[in-house]
Amino acid sequence: MLRRPDSISSTDTIIEDPIMEPFIITKSSAGGYAVHERVTKGEENKEYLKTHGYPSNFNNALKMVSKNLLDQSNDRHYTSIKQYIETFEQLQLKMRSIAAID
């Protein structure tokens, strides 16, 4: 689902970091988390937020961002499971520079 960036409630917390681009994490005033991706659509190149999910906590939100970054990486062909896992672990190391991921 796409939504306008200004549709996020002013009472929600928005968490952004260059390491996570194009993803952001929001925390609602009720306590729930959401992971969104910034996307540009349409003839007028309007910016929207694409919702990827509603993780149960911040740690799971970081994991969700890591998995989405891996899926969108330029490396779309892996010659082994080991190579895929190593790439994912490298992304998690970057994310750990923000916060610990269990």
> What pTM value is reported for the model?
0.79
In whole angstroms, what is the distance from residue 14 CA to residue 95 CA?
A: 17
For the chain, the domains span 2-96
Tell me the per-residue pLDDT of 13-69, one tens digit each, with 9 for 90 and over.
Answer: 999 999 899 999 999 988 899 999 999 988 888 999 999 999 999 989 988 998 898
With CA atoms as reference, report the closest residue to 60 among 36, 85, 35: 35
